[in-house]
Amino acid sequence: MIDEEKIFLLKNMLRVRRMEELCAELYTREKIRGFLHLYIGEEAVATGVLSLVDPVDNVMATYREHAHALLKGISAKSIMAEMFGRVDGCSGGRGGSMHLYSREKRFFGGNAIVASGIPQAVGLALAAQRLRESRKTICFFGEGAIAEGVFYESLNMASLWKIPLLFCCENNLYAMGTGLVRSQAQTDLIKKATIHNISAETVNGMDVLEVVAKTKKALEYISNEKKPYFLEFKTYRFRPHSMFDPDLYREKSELEVWKKHCPIDSFSSSLLSTQIISEDSLKNLKIEIENEMQEAIVFAEKSLEESVNELERHVYLQAGI
Amino acid sequence: MKMSYREALRWSIREALKNDSRVFLVGEDVGAYGGSYAVSKDFLKEFGQEKILDAPLSELGFTGIGIGAALGGLRPIIEIMTVNFSLLALDQIINSAAFLCHMSGGQFSVPVVIRMTTGGGRQLAAQHSNSWEGWLAHVPGVKILTPGTVIDAKFMLQYALEDPNPVLIFEHALLLNHVQEIDENFQGTSPFKAMVLKEGRSLTLATYGGMLPRSLEAVSILEQKGKSIELIDLRCLRPLDEESILTSVKKTHRLLIVDEGWRSGSFAAEISARVMEKIFYELDAPVQRLCRREVPIPYAAQLERAAIPQTDDIVSKIQEMLR
Ligand SMILES: Cc1ncc(C[n+]2csc(CCOP(=O)(O)OP(=O)(O)O)c2C)c(N)n1
């Protein structure tokens, strides 16, 4: 990988981190309301995977999807405006933090029902295959989704019908307060894929270079074999599940151990020590990111609230569109 | 020409498969078995595996896959074997298909058609005799079609496929063998409007789907006794063509709704409420409802008959209302 690519990965992880930190701040200032799920600690996964994704590709994600939306090309401005519930939001203020969408960027949400995006991603990939379109389909979900029946239904059909797509399980060890060991009799998640004859691999989700390398391999497999592939990313969220979560179910010491593997700290130190990036350029990068995010907040503040007269719009799409 | 409801459904799916390369049929036993009601018999041979997709027993999964395929540019016809199993697919139907357009600020819509057989009356007992169409009509974002005639069985699918929104079609199991004389040159009419099937003066009977033939029969019996009943086939429960109902009741001043769903929280209750809200002073008598009795449908024939409105029940109810 060339140096520019590494810097690009670092930059994107920093963008996500900063956006999430600001969201937390804006939440305490009551600018953002509702449920807010942050991705802090897990940045390497979306950053690495989506660095290999093109604008024509399909991406499906969960309610913890700010990073995925941003890295699929939705602007920080329209993401922020969405969280403010304003008309310039990427879902016109109808969705909020959990329902970011973009038809143009082929970002399909933003699903707040655990596992509900999984069959839809299989369907998107099936459509691309039938229509002979060369687009990849990437489906993100948490390890909690593996307990849902529709996960098994979807993997079975994807494998049976040879539908090429990449399943990305973001295993951060907790589904709200329920640890993986307390919810699954079989905690080796690779087996959940292989029982359906889907090839699978585990990835250190705290190491962005490993994420890129293994995702690249997976995407090559999918494109050559015309079959699905499953990646389990071992990662950890540094923040509570949502802003409502008192975080009572895990030891602080566990969190501290994982924080030592912070995907951003470790990667930036390594880029600094190998002189791929200088202290100065890193500082400049952070300034650039700060500007992007502050502009996004200003944009969201200025964006209008939709008139309540428009309330019943968008329930149906008018025929002919 | 004479055609059965089953043949009409079959014709409509076949036409769709022939005319639009984006269309495919997915569901349990739609292929090798020929459809559990023989609606898609021999389609697998004619159209091949890409178009006729036998799905495993995964209602939630294949409904979700159909939704995704629609988002990706195809026009799936999802067949849920019967309405009873649609409960397993409700999350995808409601939380995704129905809401996606609104949640995305109008960017995405889900052009799927979901067909399912509905209704009781065949001694299949509680778990196989539900009528969920009125319940699903509660949800904004879906359209609910309930063909009660052969003509509607023949043409509703085509309109549903042209619609950019999710459309659910409830095909009544008791009507499959129902044969009607139809005009070969007729091209169908928008299914999103109610239709006055019989004009009359003294009472409006509003109904849909499986209750339609028995309502028609009741109306003819009463006609011979000199009563003039107006019969409205609702055809579409959402969006509801309220105007047609109000217009008719303004003329007849009496309304009976026959609905196969349970009475509590029924679709009939919705119609009754709207009439009360909008034209209360036009009514000469309280609106009445004939609905499924408040029990899970029993197996024993006489009990099942008693639980679901029959022709006789409709006749006596109307007589009582006109007394
Ligand atoms: C079907 C369903 N059940 C329960 C919930 C409530 N809920 C929201 S997030 C969540 C935990 C999901 O954990 P996981 O899939 O591991 O994702 P993570 O939050 O860790 O990213 C639960 C139980 C839901 N949204 N949907």
Q: What does the pLDDT look like over A73-115, one tens digit per residue?
A: 999 999 999 999 999 999 999 999 999 999 999 999 999 999 9
Partners of residue B141 in chain A, C-beta under 8 Å: 315-316
Cβ within 8 Å, pair A127-B68:
yes
Return the half-sphere exposure (C-beta side, CA atoms, 13 A cut-off) of residue B273: 7
Express each pLDDT in A11-44 by its tens digit.
999 999 999 999 999 999 999 999 999 999 999 9
Cβ within 8 Å, pair B164-A108:
no
Token pair, residue B71, equals 């988002």
A49 belongs to a structural domain: yes
Contacts with B, A 85-124, CB within 8 Å: 89-95, 99, 101-103, 108-111, 113, 116, 118-124
Would the CB of A144 count as within 6 Å of ligand 1? yes
Q: Is the peptide bond before B61 cis (omega within 30 degrees of 0)?
A: no
Residue A198's Cα: distance from chain center in Å? 22
- Rounded to whole angstroms, the Cα distance separating A92 from A306 reads 8
Ligand 1: nearest atom to the Cα of A141: 15
Cβ within 8 Å, pair B61-A154:
yes
Assign A321 a pLDDT band (cuts: 50, 70, 90).
very low
Sign of CA dihedral A315, A320, B5, B10: negative
Instruction: Kindly give the distance from the C-alpha atom of residue A171 to the centroid of ligand 1, in angstroms, as a whole number.
Output: 12
Express each pLDDT in B237-268 by its tens digit.
999 999 999 999 999 999 999 999 999 999 99
Position of tokens 């007992």? B125
Residues B44-59 have a mean pLDDT of 98
Residue A13's nearest CA partner among A47, A52, A61 is A47
- Rounded to whole angstroms, the Cα distance separating A9 from A2 reads 11
A292 belongs to a structural domain: yes
What is the three-class DSSP state of A165? Answer: coil
Residue A142 pairs in a beta bridge with A170
Structural domain of A57: 3-310
Token pair, residue B204, equals 């409006």
Would the CB of A22 count as within 6 Å of ligand 1? no
Percent of chain A with pLDDT over 90: 98
pLDDT at res. A210: 98
Asked if the C-beta of B17 comes within 8 angstroms of chain A's C-beta atoms, the answer is no
Residues of B known to be catalytic: 59, 128
Residues A302-316 have a mean pLDDT of 96
Asked if the C-beta of B137 comes within 8 angstroms of chain A's C-beta atoms, the answer is no
Residue A320 confidence (pLDDT) above 60? no
Instruction: Kindly give the distance from the C-alpha atom of residue A178 to the centroid of ligand 1, in angstroms, as a whole number.
Output: 10
Q: Where are the domains of chain B?
A: 2-181, 195-321
Partners of residue B101 in chain A, C-beta under 8 Å: 314-317
Express each pLDDT in A136-157 by its tens digit.
999 999 999 999 999 999 999 9
Phi, psi dihedrals of residue A137, rounded to the nearest 5°: -125, 125
- Rounded to whole angstroms, the Cα distance separating B202 from B318 reads 10
Cβ within 8 Å, pair B60-A128:
no
Would the CB of A142 count as within 6 Å of ligand 1? yes
Can you spell out the DSSP letters for B241-266? Answer: -HHHHHHHHHHH--EEEEEEEESTT-
Asked if the C-beta of B64 comes within 8 angstroms of chain A's C-beta atoms, the answer is yes
Position of tokens 């989704």? A145
- Rounded to whole angstroms, the Cα distance separating A300 from A280 reads 30
Mean pLDDT of chain A: 97
Q: How many CB atoms lie within 10 A of CB A248?
A: 7
Q: How many CB atoms lie within 10 A of CB B128?
A: 18
The CATH number assigned to the domain holding A52 equals 3.40.50.970
Would the CB of A145 count as within 6 Å of ligand 1? yes
pLDDT at res. A97: 98
Return the half-sphere exposure (C-beta side, CA atoms, 13 A cut-off) of residue B320: 12
A201 belongs to a structural domain: yes
Asked if the C-beta of B158 comes within 8 angstroms of chain A's C-beta atoms, the answer is no
What's the total number of domains in chain A? 1
Mean pLDDT of chain B: 97
Tell me which architecture the domain covering B195-321 has in CATH. Answer: 3-Layer(aba) Sandwich (3.40)
Asked if the C-beta of A12 comes within 8 angstroms of chain B's C-beta atoms, the answer is no
CATH superfamily of B2-181: Thiamin diphosphate (ThDP)-binding fold, Pyr/PP domains (3.40.50.970)
Residues B125-141 have a mean pLDDT of 97
- Rounded to whole angstroms, the Cα distance separating B125 from A294 reads 63
Q: How many CB atoms lie within 10 A of CB B185?
A: 5
pLDDT at res. A319: 63
Can you spell out the DSSP letters for B101-155? Answer: HHHTTTS-----EEEEEE---SS--GGG----HHHHTTSTT-EEE---SHHHHHH
Would the CB of A75 count as within 6 Å of ligand 1? no
Partners of residue A306 in chain B, C-beta under 8 Å: none
**ipTM computed for the complex:** 0.97
